[in-house]
Amino acid sequence: MSRPAAGPGHNLGPTLEPGASWRRHCWREARAALLPKLPVEIVRLHVRRAAEIGLDYKTYAGVRATTGHDLVAFLFSTNALRLLRERDRLAAADAAKLAAARGICRLVAAQPPLDPGDVRRALAGQGVAVDAAARAPGLADGWGGTRAAILGLLAEGRAPADRVLLIGETALERDWVGAARLAGFVPADRYFGRALSVRP
């Protein structure tokens, strides 16, 4: 039974129609039936894998449930790494987190004016190995150009799109997920565990 549209003065509180508790029960049962019932051993493997690559378990499990695959690569924008100018360096804590991640490829999309090769060398100097780096798509590239640029970078890193998680910073970067059919998007502050700050 669909709920009628709210009229003037309606506070969108719970419906007073009979059967509300039954509908709640049905909703809970249906939701529980959709959730996978994984053996404890599999959950432990997933928890270990999430820690190995530096993701929180909830995010990792969500990506696995959505795609049906394990992750093979992270795609970082230089915005996410807070590398905005040639002289910028990765924060020490962020570099340590990236260097500690095991069993995952690291790909970097360099925003102009940064040169992908220079970014790769600078990160290597901080102990962070990068498997592939290329120019990030921009506004002028359009949907097709964005898709081609991201897929070209993934091909260089030998990573299938639906197994690559984008760690990004901006709404434009979030659009790369749809354009290249990536596994998902995680904001950089969340991935790196940075304290959220108000930016001017």
Cα 106 from Cα 164, distance rounded (Å): 10
Please tell me the predicted confidence (pLDDT) of residue 21: 81
Predicted pLDDT of residue 166 = 98
Residue 19: per-residue pLDDT? 80
CA atoms within 13 A on the CB side of 38: 13
Beta bridge partner(s), residue 106 = 74
- In the chain, what are the domain boundaries? 70-192
Instruction: Mention every residue, 6+ apart, whose C-beta is less than 8 A from residue 121.
Output: none
User: Rounded CA gap, 161 and 159, in Å?
Assistant: 6
Classify 70-192 by CATH class.
alpha beta
* pLDDT at 66 (0 to 100): 87
Is residue 136 within 8 Å of 149, Cβ to Cβ? Answer: yes
pLDDT recorded at residue 200: 42
* Amino acid letter, residue 54: G
Q: Which residues, listed in sequence order, are joined to residue 133 by a DSSP beta bridge? A: 108
pLDDT at position 33 is 67
Which regions in the chain score pLDDT beneath 70?
1-16, 31-36, 195-200
Strands 73-77 and 184-187: unpaired
pLDDT at 20: 77
The reported pLDDT for the residue numbered 5 is 56
Q: Is 48 left (phi over 0), alpha (psi -120 to 50) or beta?
A: alpha
Average pLDDT value for the chain: 87
